[in-house]
Structure 1
Amino acid sequence: MSVKMTKEIRGYEQVRQAAKDFGTYSSDLLGDRDVRTYRQLPLEADPPRHTQFREAVQSLLMSDAIAKHRAEFAKHAENLIRNIAKSGSAEISHDFALPYVIGCLTIIYNRPQDYDEWLAWGPDVWTAQSHMHGVQPSVRSGEVLQAYLDRVFNYAEANPNQDPETQDIWDFVSQIRIDDAKISREEMQGIANVLLAGGRDTVIKLVTGLVWHLIKTPADRAFLAGNREWFNRTIAEMVRYLSPLPKMERVLAEDVHVPDVERDTSQYVLLSFVSANYDREIWPDADVIDIHRDRKPHLAFGFGRHSCMGMNATEHEVGALLTVLLDSWPDWQFDGTPEIIWATALDKDGKTIRYIDRFANLRVKISEQNVL
């Protein structure tokens, strides 16, 4: 019996072309079918519907809207660094990157009351239940997120707040109108899912990876301390190297008419962003982190109409963090060998790419003279 194989598009130019060709490779699909029954919006829609939802939400994540929060991001980072100094050691992903990213999200979305709850979910909303109960290996479930979304949207709709000075993210989302009609609860959930899941585990990986690189590469750390204009270039290189979202699904246009539950997901097409970001025709030494290389557009944030809405937020969050770290380096050192889980993918020529899947354990310690 033959086994159906998912088609994969690989290589920088090939993925760029496919990513913008939504007429052939459609985003009109339901992902994560094991944990949700609604589409992530605007991600899992094609124009014109995609455009309508993106325009409705994009203002929240524009550079100017995020830049005004950088001082708050920095203060949050300083508090976390101070806590690590008091304890003398920490696991960077769990004790620093996770709470930093969660704190930034509560600031951007004006939901400070959700900090402890979101933190308890861990790095991935789909494994929140396992994380909260200490279950290993993690089991995917949408129950925790669904209960949260039901609660916050029930409240927002029962208590409408139209004051832009005091609105939180759910006030805003619950009042979005498309084609002169209020969006449905399912559409609210789709937007919320992107806002809560999209900038979570990917940015946690980026922050963890950045700290890892700064510790092991003192020369880059010293250079950046004196060249702040290099921050965005460095962030771009780290995002390329880490490729937090390695691949993304598309459905062929001829299958769009088939109901989601009846679709054969083995016939989906995968856009391999990691193969694009490791294309040696673009980056000859792609498996090396080089913050001095000529900046070329990576595809870690996608490409075309479906490119990541949160890229500005990521740059500001990580830029603020870099400023704090390099203004006064906390003298973090590895406490044991970092435990890194590596993954493999294929490039456009069928050769193996090796990239970081996740940081399983990145413990650091500080010198005794810096312990508070």
Structure 2
Amino acid sequence: MSEALHTVTALPTGRRSGCPFAPPAELTDARRHGPISHYTHPGGQPGWLITGYDLVRSVLADSRFSSRKDLLNVVDYEIPPAPPGEFVLMDDPEHRRYRKPLAGKFTVRRMRQLSERVGQITADCLDAMEQAGPPTDLVTAFAKPIPAIMICELLGVPYEDRASFQEQVESFMGGETTDEELIAAYTATQDYLAGLVAAKRANPTDDILSELTDSDLTDEELKGISLVLLSAGLDTTANMLALGTFALLQNPAQLAALRADPALTDQAVEELLRYLSVAKSFLRTALEDVEVGGQTIKAGTTVVLSYHTANHDPERFTDPHVLDLGRKNGGHVAFGHGIHQCLGQQLARVEMSVAFAALVDRFPTLRLAVPAEEVALRPETADIHGVKSLPVTWDV
């Protein structure tokens, strides 16, 4: 039976022309052949590609699959364990030890209390856009500043450091640097976070990092946790805001519905999360032989979980390639599933709900300033899908 399975020899490196929101054609084709395919990792190791919604969720919820970085069997050399604090690349009990102190700091209630501050930041961005006049790049004027300011405030990054700090982070997350530049930017960010942890331990302020210094976590662990929060809380939301606006502008009927009914905003955010799935895929390694979708995944084998195709699975979502802000059958996996489900998902929802609502209200004639096909997408080497820039204009 396994010989008849579809085989994917390499993950696609580009999107179809004119389809910046849909999964790459090769992944969609793989899912049409079935929810699980043979796959060969870059180092030549045999693996599996899972593209179906139900199977992706089942693997994410299965403790027989590991998130440990050092168990990944994807290259022809040994991968070291995740650094202290980087709990997304760990299993329980280490994962639980790091995540537990953070869980109470990212509750729905606490994140909703930040709505007013998100609104102030958003209003400041929109005021600056309006004052400067059209056209503008929505990425730099709107999409990046909102989550960047919020995560800097939550971590307690001093105001005077934020511009250079954000530039460092963009250098190793954007997917467009050389290996040397990436390593340099990553090292500089690590060094900055180490100094920030030491400063908070010496002089705590009103932020999450300062609160964590009152725990049994070491400085090295706090640095790793800070990097996880930074990685999860900045690039993903920034690209959701930019790519989400692009998607709305390309679907004028849906944009009009959102403008006409602000109460639709929360539901619109969920649909955009499903439709765009900017965090494209994740890896898991089998700790023992596991049967998935009628196939035996051998212990030590690493599988690729395609969130994008799972969220576009026609067996789960009606007309999945259509953006429908009124969609009722939710349950996307844009934030993952199981014990590793995104810790900051409620913050991301607040940021997107507030920002999208304010943007469409403030600029009712907002539109692309260039043809859609000229909007530059981030390279596929970037971990998070998005646009490099989004030129927009409006009537004044």
CA displacement at 1:35 relative to structure 2: 11
Alignment of 1:115-264 (within 5 A): 115-121=162-168, 123=170, 125-126=172-173, 139-141=181-183, 142-157=186-201, 159-161=202-204, 166-176=205-215, 182-253=216-287
Q: Which runs of 5+ in 1 are unaligned?
A: 177-181, 256-265, 345-355
2:150 maps to which residue? 104
Q: CA deviation at 1:215?
A: 2.6
Confirm whether residue 4 of structure 1 aligns to residue 25 of structure 2.
no
Q: How big is the shift at 1:189?
A: 2.2
Alignment match, 1:263: none
* Letter of the structure 2 residue corresponding to residue 102 of structure 1: A
Distance 2:283 2:233 in 1: 18
Query: One-letter code of the match for 2:392?
Result: V
Structure 1 residue 29 corresponds to structure 2 residue 57: no
2:141 paired residue among 67, 85, 95:
95
2:377 matched residue in structure 1:
341
Number of residue pairs aligned between Structure 1 and Structure 2 = 330
TM-score scaled by structure 2? 0.74
How far 1:168 moved relative to its partner?
A: 2.1
Cα distance in 2, alignment partners of residues 335 and 35 from structure 1: 46
- Give the Cα separation in 1 of the matches to 2:168 and 2:141: 14
Amino acid of the residue matched to residue 154 of structure 1? A
1:127, CA displacement in angstroms?
Answer: 5.5
Looking at structure 1, the residues matched to 226 and 109 of structure 2 have their Cα atoms a distance apart, in angstroms, of 21
Question: Could you report, residue by residue, the CA deviation over 1:152-174 in whole angstroms, capped at 9, with x for unpaired residues?
Answer: 122223x153xxxx432321233
What are the superposed Cα offsets for residues 10-52 of structure 1, whole Å, 9 maximum, x if unpaired? 2111011100112x21112258999996155432222233223
% same residue: 22
Q: 1:311 to 1:250 in 2, by over 3 A?
A: same
Q: 1:95 to 1:137 in 2, by over 3 A?
A: farther
Determine the C-alpha separation between the residues in 1 that align with 2:189 and 2:277: 25
Instruction: Please report the TM-score for the alignment, with normalisation by the length of structure 1.
Output: 0.79
Change (3 A) 1:4 1:44: closer
What residue number does 1:347 align with? none
- Give how far 1:252 is off: 2.3
CA contact (8 A) 1:302 1:308 kept: yes
SS in 1 for 2:319: coil
SS state of the match for residue 229, structure 2? Answer: helix
Matched, 1:86 2:114: no
Residue number in structure 2 paired with 1:46: 91
- The alpha-carbon distance between structure 1 residues 303 and 169, as it changes in their structure 2 partners (threshold 3 A), is same
- Going from structure 1 to structure 2, the CA distance change for 1:137 and 1:74 (only over 3 Å counts) comes to farther
Q: Which moved more, 1:321-330 or 1:57-66?
A: 321-330
Question: Please, which runs of 5 or more residues in structure 2 have no aligned partner?
Answer: 1-42, 290-299
Q: CA deviation at 1:200?
A: 1.6
| Corresponding position of 1:364 | 392
Q: Is the 8 A contact 1:124 1:200 kept in 2?
A: no
Flag the 1:139–1:267 CA change in 2: closer, same or farther, 3 A.
Answer: farther
Say if 2:85 and 2:222, in contact at 8 Å, map to a contact too. no
Would you say the 8 A contact 1:98–1:123 is kept in 2? no
2:190·2:227 contact (CA, 8 Å) conserved in 1?
no
Equivalent position of 2:16 in the other structure: none
Following superposition, the deviation at residue 7 of structure 1 comes to: 2.2
Residues in 1 aligned to 2:314 and 2:85: alpha-carbon distance in whole angstroms? 33
Report if the CA contact (8 A) 2:46-2:301 is conserved.
Answer: yes
Greater Cα shift, 321-330 or 116-125 = 116-125
CA RMSD of aligned residues (A): 3.1
